[in-house]
Structure 1
């Protein structure tokens, strides 16, 4: 597996985690603060992965 493929797979996993935490936030508002913190971390991971993909795909 090439690095870019691994990063794209990781990006898919981050997007899945984001969707899950959003769904859980709606279903369990009593832990919304915790889920919000987790969402913020996932968004940071997603941004780093996207930046690395961009870096590796530059001409």
Structure 2
């Protein structure tokens, strides 16, 4: 999958977005499934883990 950077805090592959937020000063990544109604697919400690989950359909 090819990921495109949208901003310092988000990237997309067309079907999924990964957004970055800081919780208690630590980065956390949210994987979103894009569609008619966007859905949160999970929360991850790294962007790489979120990318792997998107590629595996989780």
TM-score (ref. length: structure 2): 0.28
Larger Rg: 1 or 2?
Answer: 1
TM-score (ref. length: structure 1): 0.28
